[in-house]
């Protein structure tokens, strides 16, 4: 009976690790280039890179924990907006299921309806995508819904993602900005 419980625990643990898209993970040494319109690179270590450490290391937003918690953790510390700004972190909610989110760093403002982002693990394979186009497809032009270009197919993705908002790049709380607390 004890062996069966351990096997079930191991199976559940493995399942959770495999399905934890964009959960926080250790920081890895990675490099990315932005040649061309969009590029995908694999990790040389063979260890899948998650979106959270990538966004944290490539932005001024230094939040830890699962991507699904970034929006609430940013409250009162980082500026949170409904529109993208250069250097802000895009937070997609409902990515890969209701409790999962995805974060990406805004690297270019193309137009009022299109941005470019750098992010990792977009297709759940640990790859780094740079200069990846994202377009606002919301009915009210309010950045509440987006589509992301799929480098592998060379076309816009068919899925519409819900946007929770954009974090940073500035601080929301002046006491945090000047380290006076």
For 116-135, what is each residue's pLDDT tens digit? 999 999 888 889 999 999 99
Residues of the chain with pLDDT under 50: 1, 10-21, 23-42, 175-181
2-177 is classed CATH 3.90.1150.10: no
| pLDDT for the residue 46 | 62
Q: How many residues are listed for the chain in this entry?
A: 181
At 113, list the tokens.
Answer: 């309806």
Straight-line distance from the first to the last Cα atom of the chain, in angstroms, rounded to the nearest whole number: 53
**Residue partners of 19: CB distance under 8 A and separation at least 6:** 96, 97
Q: H helices of the chain, where?
A: 2-19, 51-57, 70-74, 174-177
Distance CA 25, CA 117 (A): 20
**φ and ψ at residue 55, rounded to 5 degrees:** -65, -40
DSSP tally for the chain: helices H, then strands E: 4, 9
Q: DSSP secondary-structure letter at 173? A: -
| pLDDT for the residue 171 | 79
| pLDDT for the residue 49 | 87
CA torsion 105-109-112-114 (nearest 10°) is -60
Distance CA 110, CA 117 (A): 11
| pLDDT for the residue 141 | 94
According to DSSP, the residues that pair with 89 across neighbouring strands are 105, 167
């Amino acid at each position: 009976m004890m062996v069966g419980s351990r096997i079930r625990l191991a199976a559940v643990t493995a399942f959770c690790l495999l399905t934890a898209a964009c959960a926080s993970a250790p920081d890895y040494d990675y490099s990315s280039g932005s040649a061309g319109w969009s590029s995908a690179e694999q990790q040389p270590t063979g260890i899948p890179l998650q979106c959270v450490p990538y966004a944290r290391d490539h932005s001024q937003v230094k939040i830890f924990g699962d991507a699904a918690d970034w929006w609430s953790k940013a409250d009162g510390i980082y500026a949170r907006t409904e529109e993208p700004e250069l250097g802000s972190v895009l937070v997609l909610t409902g990515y890969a299921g209701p409790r999962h989110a995805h974060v990406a760093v805004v690297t270019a403002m193309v137009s009022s309806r299109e941005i470019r982002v750098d992010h990792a693990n977009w297709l759940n394979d640990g790859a780094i995508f740079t200069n990846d186009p994202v377009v606002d497809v919301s009915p009210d032009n309010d950045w509440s819904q987006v589509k992301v270009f799929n480098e592998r197919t060379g076309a816009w993705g068919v899925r519409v993602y819900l946007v929770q908002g954009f974090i940073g790049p500035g601080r929301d709380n002046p006491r945090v900005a000047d380290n006076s607390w």
